[in-house]
Structure 1
Amino acid sequence: MILQRIRNQGIRLGTAFDRVAAKHPANVVILDHDLGIAPQLGRRFTVTELADVVADFASRLWTVGVRPGDHVVVYKTDGFDIPLIASAVARIGAVPVMLSPKLDGESVLQMLPRVNQPYLLTDQAKLDNELSDEVFDVADSVLLASGSHPRATALADLTDVRRVAPVVMPRDHPTLVTHTSGTTGLPKMAVHTSYSLQSRYRPQAAAVTLLRKRETVAMHVSFVHSRVISAVLISLARGFPLLVLTDDDPEHVADYFVRLRPGIIEAHPNSYMLWEKLADDPRQPLANVRLFSSTFDAIHPRTVHRLLRATRRTAPVFGQLYGQSETGPVVARSYTKLRSLEADGRCVGVPFPGMTGVRVVSRDGAPPTKESPGYIEVRSDGRAVTFLGEPERYAAQTNGSWWRMGDVGYRTKWGCLHLLDREVDEIPGFGSTLAAEDQLFARLDNLAEVIIIPGDDGRAVPVVSTKGDEPLDLAAWRAAAAGLPPMADPVQWRLDDLPHTATTKIKRLELARIINSGGPAK
C-alpha cells in the first residue's frame, strides 16, 4: 500500500525548502501579496529563491543571538513569509512559536509568559497598532521582520551577514509550536516535534501521490497552522506550481483562478462557503479543479455540491479531513459529483489505515448512537506532545494513548465517524446543531452562515448571515426550518461581524455570550 511506503523519519523543517529546491529548482510560487521579509522578490519567484530567503533569514537570526533551543514567538502581519520564518527559526535549532496575526495584542501579551522570556519576532505594524510597550518587558528581545522601532532590532538592517550551516536536532525535539483555534477561550499552544509533524505529512502525501499529472495548487489557509507546512511542502516536493492567497474575497480569488486555472485547491470550510458564488461566474474559475481539499472541519453538503458542479474535470473529488490542531488529520472522506444535496454532512470519514484510530466512548453506558452520541477520542502519531506552559491542560485531554477531541458523535456499522456537535455547544433536547445547520444551508441558497447557539432560556437561537447582507426572507426561513426542533426567531448579523478564529471558524461561545448579554445584532 502507498500509505505504508512513506516512512516516518521526522520532518526536518529547517532544511525542507532546500530539499524541494534541489528536486524542482525552477518551480514557481505566486503570491497575491509581497513577502514582508523579501519584498524585492516581487510576487512570482522560484523555489530556489525561496530556499535562499530562508537560509538568509536564519543567518540573520543567528547574528542577533538566537541559538538552538531558544523560543522565537512569531506574531506579524499576515503573509506567506510566516511559514518561511518558521523554517528559518528551525534551521538554526530554535523553536518557532506561531501566533495568528488575527490575535489581538492583549491576547498575545497573555500568552507570551507561557514561553518564558522568548524572542519576539514581529513588525512595525504590529508594534504600532496592536502591541503595548509591555511587550518589551515580557520578551527577551524584540526583533522586526520589517519596519523600524527604537526599542527593537530590525533584521533587514543587518549587513554582511555570514551564512551559517543548518543545525540538526533530534526528531523528538520540539520543532514547532502552534496555537489551537481558540473557539473556547484563550488559545492553547501545542508543541510539535519533527516526528509528529512528519506523521501529519504522511497520509496527505500518500493521497497526493495518486495525482499523476502536474497541477497548479491554489492555497488559502492560516499561515500559522501546522497544516500550511505539510500543504506547502507536499505541493513543492511534487513540482506543482503554487499560488498562495491571503485575501479570500471571491472577486479577488476568481481573477487569479481564471488566469492560473488551479487543478488543486486547499482552503478552510468557511472560505469554500464564500467561494460558492464562483460557480456562477461566467469565466468558470473552477473549471480545471480536480481536487478540493478541506481541513479539520466538516463542510456543508450544499457547498460541496455547488463547487463540484462548477468544475469541468472528468472525475473531480472533494476531500475532507477531520482533526484538530493538537492531532492533525485523523479521518478522511471523499465526495464526487454523485453526492446529493441532501447527503449526510455529519459523516466525516474513516481513519487512515495504520496511522490513526478513532473510538467513541459512551456517556450513558449504552452504545453511542445518533440519538445518544458519545465522546470522540482519537489516536495518532501526529499528536502534539504537550501544551507549552500548560501541561496539566494537555493531560486533562488524554486517556492513555487516546485523545479527547471535545466533540460528540457516533460510528456507523461501516466504521464512518459521524460528528454531531462540540461538547460545549450541545443544546439539551435539540439534537445535532450541526445537522440542523446543514439542512438550513441546503434549503436556503442565500444563507452565507448560520450558527445555532443556546439562548438564556435554553432555547436554540439561530444566528444567520445572508449573501450580500440582504434581509432574511422569514417565510422561506420557516419553510426551511420545518421538521427541525423548535428554535427562537433568527437573529441576523453581518458575516464580517461574527467572531472568527484564525482558521475562519465561528467562535460560538463568544457569539452566544454577546447575544445573551444583550449585544445587538450587527
Structure 2
Amino acid sequence: MRLADYLDKGASVDPAAPCLTTDGATASYAEVQALSRRVAAALAAVGVRPGDTVAILSANDPVAFTCVFGTSRAGAVWCPVNPRNEAAENRELLELFGCTVLVHQASFAPLVEQVRGDLPLLRTVVCLDGEPADGTLGWEEFLVGGDGSEVDRAAVDDVAMIVGTGGTTGRPKGVVLTGTNLETMSATTLMSYPFEGRPVYLALAPLTHAAGVLCFPVMARAGEVVVMRSPDVGRFLALVEERRVTHTFLPPTLVYMVLDHPALPTTDTSSLQCFWYGAAPMSTTRLAEALGSIGPVMAQLFGQTEAPMMISALPPAEHFEADGSVATRRLASAGRPTPLVIVEVMGEDGEVLPRGATGEIVVRGSLVMRGYHRDPEATAAASAHGWHHTGDIGYLDDEGYLFIVDRAKDMVITGGFNVYSTEVEQALMQHEAVADCAVVGLPDEKWGERVTAVVQLRPGAVVEPAELQAFARARIGPVKTPKQVEVWPDLPRSKVGKVLKTEIKQTLTG
C-alpha cells in the first residue's frame, strides 16, 4: 500500500467521517482526500516526478500531514524533517536525501534560510502559512499552480519514506522504508492491540516521530486523528475526555507528566482502549502506577526507525497475570515478538543463542527497512548473517518475552529521542579546556535516560560544568546537551587506551 491508500481506505468506508481534528476544527475524509489530490497536482506542476524526495518541516499540523498523502499520491518519497534538529544536521540530511521540494511552516523560515543556499538540488520551497520569504511559494500560490490537473501515480520501487537517523559515528543516515514495511507495521498494529469500533487517536507526540506512522492503521479503520500542535499535558487530558479518545502514544517522559498532573484523577479515561508507551525505557514503578491511575490500557511497543514500532508488543492484557494482579516481572520486558517478524538473540560469531542467553537482538521479516540511503556499507553491516541487527542487547525468556538490558552503540534514549554519544563528545571536545570526554546514559525517572558527560580537562584548565552545558547547547541543541556534567582528573581506560564507559557508569550509579 502507498501512504495515500490509508487515507483512501478510510474515505471509502465513510467519506463524511472525521479524519483530522485540530483546535476544535475537523476535516472529513473527503476533505482531506481532496486537499491531498491538490497537493499531488501542485507537486507535479513544480516538476516533482515519481521517486523524487519531498521534505516536510513542520510541528504537528493537519495541513502539513495532508502533504504526506499528497506526496505519496504524486509518487514521491516523504522525508520528514525534525524541527528539533540543529540547522547543520538538517542541512546534511536534506543533502543526503537529495530533496527537490521543501514544505515548511513559517515559524521555521529562519532555519530554511540557513540551509537552502547549500542545497543545489532544492528547486522549490513552499511556506504552509504566513508570509513567504523571497524565492518561496505561498501556500495558495503553490496549490493554484496544480489546479485543473489530476495526479495519482504509483510509487517507484515501493519506497514510501526516508527517515533521518544517527549512526555509530553520530553522522546521520537515511533509513529507507517501503510501503511494504509500513503495511506490515500497520497490519501488525491492528492484530496486536485492541481496536474495537472506530478508533479516535490522539497525537501529542511529533508526527515526524512515532506518532505519525501510528496514524496509518487508524486511518485504515476510518478513525479520527486528533492532532495536538504542542505538548500540553493538561490539554491532552481534556481531549481524552472531550473526544472520547481510544488510542494514544506517549514516550515515558510524557507519561510521567500525565501521572503527575492534578487533573488526572478527575479525567474520564474510560474510552481508552490502548495507551501506547515506548521509544525509551520506562520505570516499572511508574508503569504500575499508570495501570492504576490511567487504567488497564497501557500497551508497550518496541521498534526502531529501521524496523518501525512493531518488533515486539506488550498489549494491555499482558500487563496482568491470569488472576488480575499486575505482572510485575513482565513489566520490565518489551513484550513478545509480533506475528509478522522473527526475533532472535545472536552472539558475536553470528550464532543464534538459546533462550535466556544474552546477545544482540536481531530481526527478520517484511517490517525491516530496505537499507540505508546511499550507504551500502552501513546497510551490509546492519544486515550481517541475514538478520537486521538492532544494536540492542537483550534476551528472550522461556515464555518468549523479550528483555532489553543494554544498547550496543552507546546511544542514549532520552525523552523518546535518540542521542548518539559520539556527537555529544565531539561537541564538547571543541571547547578549549577539554582534553577528553565520555558520554553515557544514566537511568532517570523523568527522561528514561539522561545524557551524562564525564570530562577530563587540559593541564591547568578550569571550567564549570554549566559553561560546558551552555557550550554544547549552542552546538547541538537542548535535547542532546548533557543534563549532568562531571569533571574528573582522568578517565578510566583499557590497556590500549580505550575509555571504559562501563566503569564510568558503575562509578556514577554507585
Instruction: Check whether TM > 0.5.
Output: yes
Aligned-partner Cα distance in 2 for 1:515–1:246: 36
After superposition, give the CA deviation of every residue in 1:293-329 in whole Å (9 maximum; x if it has no partner).
23444432233222222346xxx33221111000122
After superposition, give the CA deviation of every residue in 1:152-172 in whole Å (9 maximum; x if it has no partner).
2334214361231301236x4
- 1:444 corresponds to: none
Aligned-partner Cα distance in 2 for 1:306–1:19: 38
CA shift at 1:512, angstroms?
Answer: 7.9
Find out whether 1:23 has 2:7 as its counterpart: no
Q: 1:511 aligns with which of 439, 463, 482?
A: 482
Aligned-partner Cα distance in 2 for 1:379–1:243: 33
Q: 1:325 aligns with which of 283, 297, 305?
A: 305
- 1:200 corresponds to: 185
Q: Residues 279 and 200 from structure 1, CA distance in 2 versus in 1: closer, same or farther, beyond 3 angstroms? A: farther
CA shift at 1:144, angstroms?
Answer: 1.0
Residue correspondence of structure 1 range 303-382 to structure 2 within 5 A:
303-311=286-294, 316-328=296-308, 329-334=310-315, 335-336=318-319, 338=324, 340=326, 343=329, 345-353=331-339, 355-363=340-348, 373-382=358-367
After superposition, give the CA deviation of every residue in 1:51-75 in whole Å (9 maximum; x if it has no partner).
1111111111112221212222222
Q: 1:156 aligns with which of 129, 135, 140?
A: 140
Aligned-partner Cα distance in 1 for 2:4–2:372: 22
- 2:51 corresponds to: 69
Q: Residues 78 and 233 from structure 1, CA distance in 2 versus in 1: closer, same or farther, beyond 3 angstroms? A: closer
- 2:383 corresponds to: 398
Bigger shift: 417-426 or 131-140?
A: 131-140
Give the letter for the 1:12 counterpart: R
Find out whether 1:141 has 2:127 as its counterpart: no
- 1:300 corresponds to: 283
Q: Residues 232 and 516 from structure 1, CA distance in 2 versus in 1: closer, same or farther, beyond 3 angstroms? A: farther
Give the letter for the 1:392 counterpart: E
Q: 2:65 aligns with which of 79, 83, 94?
A: 83
Residue correspondence of structure 1 range 48-63 to structure 2 within 5 A:
48-63=30-45
Q: Which runs of 5+ in 1 are unaligned?
A: 1-10, 34-41, 428-432, 442-446, 458-490, 500-504
Find out whether 1:47 has 2:32 as its counterpart: no
Alignment check: 8 A CA contact 1:397 1:403 kept: yes
Alignment check: 8 A CA contact 1:330 1:352 kept: yes
Q: Residues 279 and 407 from structure 1, CA distance in 2 versus in 1: closer, same or farther, beyond 3 angstroms? A: farther
Q: Residues 226 and 342 from structure 1, CA distance in 2 versus in 1: closer, same or farther, beyond 3 angstroms? A: closer
TM-score (norm: length of structure 2): 0.75
Alignment check: 8 A CA contact 2:125 2:135 kept: no
Q: Residues 290 and 200 from structure 1, CA distance in 2 versus in 1: closer, same or farther, beyond 3 angstroms? A: closer
Q: Residues 59 and 83 from structure 1, CA distance in 2 versus in 1: closer, same or farther, beyond 3 angstroms? A: same
Find out whether 1:419 has 2:419 as its counterpart: no
After superposition, give the CA deviation of every residue in 1:114-171 in whole Å (9 maximum; x if it has no partner).
123632233433222554165364343132132312122334214361231301236x
Alignment check: 8 A CA contact 1:247 1:253 kept: no
- 2:394 corresponds to: 409
Task: State the secondary structure of the residue aligned to 2:409.
Answer: helix
CA shift at 1:282, angstroms?
Answer: 4.0
Alignment check: 8 A CA contact 1:124 1:144 kept: no
CA shift at 1:244, angstroms?
Answer: 1.9
CA shift at 1:23, angstroms?
Answer: 0.7
Could you tell me the percent identity over the aligned residues?
19
- 1:132 corresponds to: 114
- 1:244 corresponds to: 227
- 1:451 corresponds to: 450
Q: Residues 226 and 426 from structure 1, CA distance in 2 versus in 1: closer, same or farther, beyond 3 angstroms? A: closer
TM-score (norm: length of structure 1): 0.73
Aligned-partner Cα distance in 1 for 2:368–2:32: 29
CA shift at 1:100, angstroms?
Answer: 1.2
- 1:273 corresponds to: 256
After superposition, give the CA deviation of every residue in 1:481-519 in whole Å (9 maximum; x if it has no partner).
xxxxxxxxxx99xxxx998xxxxx965xx538965699x
Q: Residues 217 and 136 from structure 1, CA distance in 2 versus in 1: closer, same or farther, beyond 3 angstroms? A: same
CA shift at 1:215, angstroms?
Answer: 4.3
Bigger shift: 343-352 or 374-383?
A: 343-352
Give the letter for the 1:331 counterpart: S
After superposition, give the CA deviation of every residue in 1:169-211 in whole Å (9 maximum; x if it has no partner).
36x4312112236797243211112222212211112235x53
Residue correspondence of structure 1 range 426-441 to structure 2 within 5 A:
437=443, 441=445
Q: Residues 279 and 326 from structure 1, CA distance in 2 versus in 1: closer, same or farther, beyond 3 angstroms? A: farther
- 1:118 corresponds to: 100
Give the letter for the 1:201 counterpart: S
Alignment check: 8 A CA contact 1:95 1:177 kept: yes
CA shift at 1:92, angstroms?
Answer: 1.2
- 2:74 corresponds to: 92
| RMSD across aligned positions (CA) | 3.8
Alignment check: 8 A CA contact 1:82 1:224 kept: no
